[in-house]
Amino acid sequence: MFSFQPGGKYHRADIKELAGLRRNAKGGPWDTGIVEHGGDFWIFANVGTRGRTGDAYDNQWEGDLFHWYHKKRSHVGWASVKKLLLPGNVIHVFWRVSNREPFEYAGRATPFKVFEERSPVEILWAFADAESETPFFVGPDEVPSNGYNEGTAHQVVVNVYERDRAARQACISFYGLSCVVCSLSFEEDYGTIGKGYIHVHHLIPLSSIGQGYQVDPIKDLRPICPNCHAMVHQREPPYPIEEVRKGMKHQIAANGFVIDADSSNVACTM
């Protein structure tokens, strides 16, 4: 098992050494954007800058999700892409905004969405590590009213990513850790391992807002569980939260359950 700290900074030579290779080994697949080694996959992504080979991809952070582009001309029919997307894979994602800087470890990734019709292959990666922070809580009246700057991938993305963490925390402080669609609380359902875990959904996708847009954590963000988050992103643009909530309630009611009109409490009628 390879041990990396999410948010930690690593040069490619450091990563090779930790993976059991010669630190100064040159060339080969380790100097490309993705490599398979030791049964794991390792992704190296540039954000807002060209790679050393001169190739440029529109990799970018969209909230807590990482929008990543595979190699040129790649498609979902490639055997290597099919292998990458097999359930249970360990996928390490490293990213940076300059070729002169070390990579930052984003964490172990799982595919949140695959844009199957596009070439090169585009994947939205989600990170359990990024969602597991233990939050602090303040009263709704104490949540800062000032905006949080987030913008396009052409800004200094590392700053966007850090500010997004602050906006995420402010959203959780106001709304709590229960899903706004289905009311799931991970700590209540899973105990201590679910403490602090929740996704935060941008009502307006970051990829569609203008540069310098100030995100209001109360107006623009909502806590949402991964399942409901996936359903919201089943189309582009995403479904409104209320539409997904209504669809879920109608489906449960049709199967013999009654839902409190003012909540997501469920009672069996059969």
Contact 47, 57 (CB under 8 A): no
H/E stretch holding 110: strand 103-115
From residue 241, alpha-carbon distances to 146, 214, 232 in Å are 24, 21, 7
pLDDT in tens, 123-161: 999 986 444 343 444 444 545 555 655 554 433 233 333
Alpha-carbon distance of 215 to 196, in angstroms, equals 22
DSSP string, 150-218: ---TTS-HHHHHHHHHHHHHHHHHHH-SS-TTT---HHHHHGGGGTT--EEEESS-GGGSPTTPEE-TT
256: left (phi over 0), alpha (psi -120 to 50) or beta: left
Closest CA to 148 of 161, 167, 162, 135: 167
80-89, 92-101, 203-212, 218-227: the lowest-pLDDT one: 203-212
The token pair at 116 is 């199957």
pLDDT at 267: 42
- Read off the amino acid at residue 239: Y
pTM for the model stands at 0.49
pLDDT in tens, 223-251: 999 999 889 988 878 899 999 998 887 66
- Contact status, residue 185 vs residue 264, Cβ threshold 8 Å: no
Q: How far apart are CA 135 and CA 72, in angstroms?
A: 40
Q: For residue 95, is pLDDT > 90?
A: yes
Three-state DSSP at 270 gives: coil
Question: How far is the C-alpha of 239 from the C-alpha of 249, rounded, in Å?
Answer: 15
